[in-house]
Structure 1
Amino acid sequence: MTACDHLTELPAEPPAPQTPDGCAECLAEGTRWVHLRLCLTCGHVGCCDSSPQRHASAHFAKEGHPVMRSFEPGEDWRWCFVDETLV
């Protein structure tokens, strides 16, 4: 993993997931996801790029929140959309 300046922009405490049961948009649309990602800026839960709707990437494109982490049990990796790197 490499250093990322975007980590300094994150809140001191990680935000609580807004929709702990799954991808916010998929739940609203009745669609399915493959894996989940949690926005570390606001707590939005979106589906990964392997999912048909790619809501985590769409959240970054719309809101500009750069860092998300896996929202899968047992995983703690983080991804910076701006730097396109694991952080």
Structure 2
Amino acid sequence: MRQCTHTGTLPRPEPEPRSRTCPECLAEGTHPVHLRLCLTCGNVGCCDSSPGRHATRHHERTGHPVMRSYEPGEDWRWCFVDHVLV
């Protein structure tokens, strides 16, 4: 079974969110379906079901490996590099 090799390198405590919603969606006039929080820098981006896929684009630009759901009541995490739930 695959495991994430990046959780040990993430900052502790996790970074504060930079915003309350996806700023790129706001700038584009679109609505995020669900929000994701980058666990390296605190960037908030929208999920892949959103038109902009800004959380994935953030990973592609920065290489930051792990994000978590930024939705109320959810705490799951995803490693973009290892393609596994953390």
Query: Judging changes above 3 Å, is the alpha-carbon distance between structure 1 residues 77 and 2 closer, same or farther for their aligned structure 2 residues?
Result: farther
- Aligned-residue CA RMSD (Å): 1.4
Find the aligned partners of 1:24 and 1:44 in 2 and give their Cα distance. Answer: 9
Corresponding residue for residue 9 of structure 2: 9
Find the aligned partners of 2:31 and 2:82 in 1 and give their Cα distance. Answer: 28
Structure 1: stretches of 5+ with no match in the other structure: none
Q: How does 1:55-74 map to 2 (within 5 A)?
A: 55-74=54-73
Q: Given residue 24 of structure 2, which amino acid in structure 1 is its aligned partner?
A: E
Aligned residues: percent identity?
67
Contact 1:14 1:41 in 2 (8 A): yes
Figure out how many residues of one structure are paired with residues of the other and give that number: 86
SS in 1 for 2:7: helix
SS in 1 for 2:78: strand
Find the aligned partners of 1:28 and 1:44 in 2 and give their Cα distance. Answer: 15
Structure 2: stretches of 5+ with no match in the other structure: none
